[in-house]
Structure 1
Amino acid sequence: MGNIRITKQFSFETGHALYGYDGKCKNVHGHSYKLSVTVIGKPIEDTNNVKFGMVIDFGDLKKIVKTEIVDVFDHATVFNKNTPHVELAKELQDRGHNVLLVNYQPTSEMMVIDFAEKIKSFLPSHIALHSLKLQETDTSFAEWYASDNESL
């Protein structure tokens, strides 16, 4: 039996600011992100397995992505911890806001790389992460493909 790709889509609201950027995104703002997670593998052939015919149960994939990405980033504000935004982050945290300090500039490109690493580490060994698509707006998105990153 051949490999099959399956995709599960997620959505979450996240704020961020890009320190040092020369445009509007230097200001704190938010997006309604849409994340598409595609994994690849062979459907389970064991007729005694309750997951017979599935590459991975959509519910199992949902649990991984929800726990590692959606629940963490939803309604949080993300800042690069290596910038003066840490002062703003502390002020927001002191006022009860959910703030994430990451070690990268929180662009869609860098977030999708972070998400790929997190998701890959929780997938069963017989399943591979094929691709991610992180949509920031209706017309803008970043994509990560395993095939583009195999030699990196």
Structure 2
Amino acid sequence: MLQQIYPTPNHDYQYELNKDMQFAAAHYVPHEAAGACQNVHGHTYFVNITIVGDELDETGFLINFQHIKQLIHKRFDHTLLNEDPTFSKEDSNHFSTTEVMARKVWELIQEHLNTLPTKPKCAQVFVRETPTSYCIYRPRKELLLK
């Protein structure tokens, strides 16, 4: 994977972990204003996930990198995103756009993190859809502090 520098989220946690991954997926945006993006097309998505926390688990991890990859890569690699139940064909807040993809990845990761006794937080999700286009999702500060 290409080494990249990502914008850094502000936080006061002691640890910050970043996991890069890529996956290939197709999608379409089911709205006439999307132009050519209404047609099924594919991308190689590059994703960076930032997790923060103050406590390590019994293995010395904030979270095992493999768990992050299993949650996202296994679910989305070589799929048609629009067929995944996390996306919608009727509600624009749930279309498979880069913005929504970043938020949905955050939701999936944070849902898992909430089950861990050390309660790490997902501070940022960076999704690059093309070499020149990306989106960053950061939760509101109050979600990061819970």
Tell me the TM-score normalized by structure 1.
0.70
Q: 1:50 to 1:115 in 2, by over 3 A?
A: closer
Could you tell me how far apart the structure 1 residues matched to 2:59 and 2:65 are?
16
Residues 112 and 143 in structure 1, CA contact (< 8 A), matched pair in contact too = yes
Could you tell me how far apart the structure 1 residues matched to 2:50 and 2:107 are?
14
Residue identity matched to 1:131: Q
User: Where in structure 2 are the equivalents of 1:15-26 lying within 5 Å?
Assistant: 15-22=26-33, 23-26=35-38
Could you tell me how far apart the structure 1 residues matched to 2:141 and 2:97 are?
19
The equivalent residue for 1:62 is: 66
Residue identity matched to 2:77: D
Q: Percent identity?
A: 24
1:50 positional shift = 4.1
Residue deviations 1:87-134, cap 9 Å, x none? xxxxxxxxxxxx435222110111111111110011124311110001
CA-based RMSD of the aligned residues comes to: 2.3
Residue identity matched to 1:3: Q
The equivalent residue for 1:36 is: 48
Larger Cα-atom Rg? 1
**By percentage of residues, which structure has more strand?**
1
Count of aligned pairs: 122
Match of 1:122, SS?
helix
Residue identity matched to 1:135: R
Q: Does 1:9 align with 2:12?
A: no
The equivalent residue for 2:4 is: none
Could you tell me how far apart the structure 2 residues matched to 1:139 and 1:148 are?
28
Structure 2 residue runs of 5 or longer lacking an equivalent are 1-12, 89-93
Instruction: Extract structure 1 runs of 4+ deviating beyond 3 A.
Output: 147-151
Q: 1:148 to 1:140 in 2, by over 3 A?
A: farther
Tell me the TM-score normalized by structure 2.
0.72
Q: 1:140 to 1:121 in 2, by over 3 A?
A: same
Which of residues 112, 121, 127 in structure 2 aligns to 1:122? 112
Could you tell me how far apart the structure 2 residues matched to 1:11 and 1:143 are?
15
